Structure 1
Amino acid sequence: MHDVLDPDSDRGRVYRCLVSHPRVSVGQLAPLVRLSESVVHVVLKELAAEDIVVTTDLETGEASWEALPPAEVVEALLQRDAALRTSLRQAGTELERLYRFARKDAGHYGALDVVEDPARVLAVSRQLQQSARHQIRVIDVPPYSGTSDHYLAQEVLQRERMAAGVVYRSIYHGSAFDDPIAWPNMARMIEAGEQARTLDDPPMKLAIGDNDLAVVTLAADDHPGVVSLLIRPSGLFQALSNVFESLWRLAVPISAAGIGTQIDARDRQILTLMASGATDDAIARHLGVGRRTVVRRVSALLARLGATTRFQAGVQAARRGWL
């Protein structure tokens, strides 16, 4: 939403133009912001959904658009940021509780067991999925040490559980796109119906089956390999569930659309420069092409990615492994 104040973004250009040109139609607005009418229409619909612009009917019957006061828009942005900070603080507090539980030296926490045997760690993961009846929630982070056979076996199990009506919601580390084994597995599961999102740096490897069992997998402190913490219903279990839901809200959805699609080197350069914040003029200078060529290619890329802003295009491109 912040990009509505950025004069170099499509949303920012449209909003700023409406601030100074009240009650204009899409046809009047498009040449003013140097965007196609189809792109302007999509941007306006998005801004209207966020209560940034409103539409009215001209006497001719054609729809016109009006910007809401900038003071109201800025206040809405500030309120959204405050809500995001509150969510992050909550996640941090819950992670701190997990940190302290996992490092508790004295006493015994009845809802927690430690599993160190690698074979049992895998067996626990299968048991968690096989016993779930409603949903599996997963946070997957590197290292991705599983073999291709392990991932294929996991695919078979997950397809069986999804066919039985179990919903899989997974948060993946952004680096999964670069892994030659993990990424194809992730792509196939998304196409099969898994709900997936990505986050730059999730804090842990976690699996939660229904409201019955959570498994946190960590690097072992005193020897190679990993250990798993099995957490049953408890205050700690609820904290882990809350952590997942907080991170789920912050993560970026992944779509099966466009998986496997490739782009040429010139479009990849344009996307990379867009993601770095470069303007159309800067991209044109860098590539040694005309500005109109860049504007045309950027519009085509936005349409291809289903994005209305440069930021959205960068996220979508990264999700598809184009950057």
Structure 2
Amino acid sequence: MRLNDPEWQARGPRSAGLPPVHPGLTAGEAASYGRARRASARRGCMVLEALDPGTEHGRVYRALVCLPRTGVAELAAETGIRPETVRRLLDELVARNVAVALDGGAWEAHSPAEITESALRRDAVRRAEARQSGTELERLFRFVRREEGHYGALEVLTDTERILATMQRMQRAANQEMRIIDRPPYFAQPSYYANQETLQFDRMAAGVGYRTIYYESAYNDGTVPDIPRMVAKGEQARTLKEPPMKLVIADDQLAVVTLEAEGGQSVVALLIRPSSLFTALSNTFETLWKLAVPISAVGADTLDDDRDRVILTLMASGATDEAIARRLELSRRTVVRRVALLLDRLGATTRFQAGVQAARRGWL
């Protein structure tokens, strides 16, 4: 079987003996289902844009929050955006249930808290979809792993030493970035993990970036590297409750997925070269990276300062630095400094992202 064979791709996995990806659906229904999922993702992006003041949608929505029951002319004056563009943006916000059109040509914003909650629920759906993607990949993996060898863009590895050597060669050959999902099974000797830390430090010193997603209980696992030390050395690290797979991606060239073999007594790995499957794995990593919680190089993952909690709450509701300073009776400079520190600690680039990450950590 060759997964890069056009004839095989045209027939699809059903005719090759693999169960359908969406049991019970015809090919047309499955295609419609995929289009619906992509449309849902686009709607989610619109909601995020509405809460990001750095976008045109965000500027109009913020103006609606501050100016209830407002017309197009007032919003255009407030945002500095041309009236015809404001009208188009308002129509799009209404279509995404972020705003509502009132009688008399006025517009009103929906509650920021409701929109934030909707975004968090959508995150939960994306988690479930990522988990399903991992399950489907495992089904494909078990289909092709009947014996070791090459299958087009795929290569099945069953020898433990060969799997470990392959992952180290990938790191030595990488020029730009390693992307890793670090979760069980752990099947190497302790000396291997010590050598792996040294290799990673050397590669980071040579300019290769490392982004690693650790499973949520990694801090309690003695097999996992010292995460704070790795972060202090330059690794970008995040945690996720249940990553769907153990994955290593080197640049945009090679990927390795490792799973327990039948019976759990050994491991097998799938080496993937550039292909549609490689692209799917790369996209899955990026989705999980957005869902994962950043790990800070300093301090525990708790928020002990009640003042910072209030700042985060006000940020999530759309308050400006000046409004926060007045509310807490602080100088604007102090608020700007605290906001910058909180954004850095949360690994966020916008106030909305900071609010979502803080909610995930239980800080709000």
Normalised TM-score (structure 2): 0.51
Q: Is the counterpart of residue 139 in structure 1 residue 181 in structure 2?
A: yes
Gaps of 5+ in 1: 1-45, 56-68, 268-304, 318-323
Question: 1:152: Cα distance to partner?
Answer: 1.6
Distance 1:117 1:47, change over 3 A: closer
Aligned to 1:164: 206
Aligned to 2:143: 104
The count of aligned residue pairs is 222
Q: State the SS of the aligned residue for 1:182.
A: coil
> Is the CA contact 1:140–1:171 (under 8 Å) kept in the aligned structure 2?
yes
Task: Give 1:174's aligned amino acid.
Answer: E
> Is the CA contact 1:199–1:251 (under 8 Å) kept in the aligned structure 2?
yes
> Is the CA contact 2:272–2:278 (under 8 Å) kept in the aligned structure 1?
yes
Q: Is the counterpart of residue 227 in structure 1 residue 268 in structure 2?
A: yes
Q: 1:246 aligns with which of 276, 282, 287?
A: 287
Aligned to 1:151: 193
Question: 1:313: Cα distance to partner?
Answer: 9.1
> Is the CA contact 2:185–2:260 (under 8 Å) kept in the aligned structure 1?
no
Q: Is the counterpart of residue 213 in structure 1 residue 260 in structure 2?
A: no
Task: Give 2:261's aligned amino acid.
Answer: A
Aligned to 2:157: 115
Distance 1:152 1:233, change over 3 A: same
List aligned pairs for 1:253-264, cutoff 5 A: 253-258=294-299
List aligned pairs for 1:4-19, cutoff 5 A: none
Task: Give 1:73's aligned amino acid.
Answer: P
Which one has more relative contact order, counting CA pairs under 8 Å at least 6 apart?
A: 1
Distance 1:231 1:78, change over 3 A: same
Task: Give 1:119's aligned amino acid.
Answer: E
Aligned to 2:332: none
Q: 1: CA distance between counterparts of 2:141 and 2:202?
A: 33
Q: State the SS of the aligned residue for 2:361.
A: helix
Q: 1: CA distance between counterparts of 2:53 and 2:279?
A: 37
Q: 2: CA distance between counterparts of 1:88 and 1:234?
A: 24
List aligned pairs for 1:23-38, cutoff 5 A: none
Q: 1: CA distance between counterparts of 2:215 and 2:121?
A: 25
Once the two structures are overlaid, the 10-residue window that deviates more, 215-224 or 89-98, is: 89-98
> Is the CA contact 1:173–1:200 (under 8 Å) kept in the aligned structure 2?
yes
Q: Is the counterpart of residue 315 in structure 1 residue 356 in structure 2?
A: no
Q: State the SS of the aligned residue for 1:142.
A: coil
Distance 1:166 1:209, change over 3 A: same
Q: State the SS of the aligned residue for 2:211.
A: strand
Q: 1: CA distance between counterparts of 2:240 and 2:225?
A: 15
Q: 2: CA distance between counterparts of 1:315 and 1:77?
A: 15
> Is the CA contact 1:94–1:242 (under 8 Å) kept in the aligned structure 2?
no
> Is the CA contact 1:167–1:194 (under 8 Å) kept in the aligned structure 2?
yes
Question: 1:315: Cα distance to partner?
Answer: 3.2
Q: 2: CA distance between counterparts of 1:93 and 1:239?
A: 13
Q: Is the counterpart of residue 77 in structure 1 residue 116 in structure 2?
A: yes
Q: State the SS of the aligned residue for 1:172.
A: strand
Q: 1: CA distance between counterparts of 2:159 and 2:258?
A: 12
Deviation string 1:108-159 (CA, Å, 9 cap, x unpaired) is 7411111111111110010110111110000011244444322220111101
Q: State the SS of the aligned residue for 2:257.
A: strand
> Is the CA contact 2:171–2:250 (under 8 Å) kept in the aligned structure 1?
yes
Q: State the SS of the aligned residue for 2:161.
A: helix
Q: 2: CA distance between counterparts of 1:242 and 1:314?
A: 22
Q: 1: CA distance between counterparts of 2:361 and 2:235?
A: 19
Q: State the SS of the aligned residue for 2:143.
A: coil
Deviation string 1:182-208 (CA, Å, 9 cap, x unpaired) is 252x22111100000000111111000
Q: Is the counterpart of residue 126 in structure 1 residue 168 in structure 2?
A: yes
For the aligned residue pairs, the C-alpha RMSD in angstroms reads: 4.1
Distance 1:183 1:119, change over 3 A: closer
Task: Give 1:176's aligned amino acid.
Answer: A
Q: 1: CA distance between counterparts of 2:112 and 2:174?
A: 44
Aligned to 1:295: none
Question: 1:54: Cα distance to partner?
Answer: 6.2
Q: 2: CA distance between counterparts of 1:47 and 1:113?
A: 43
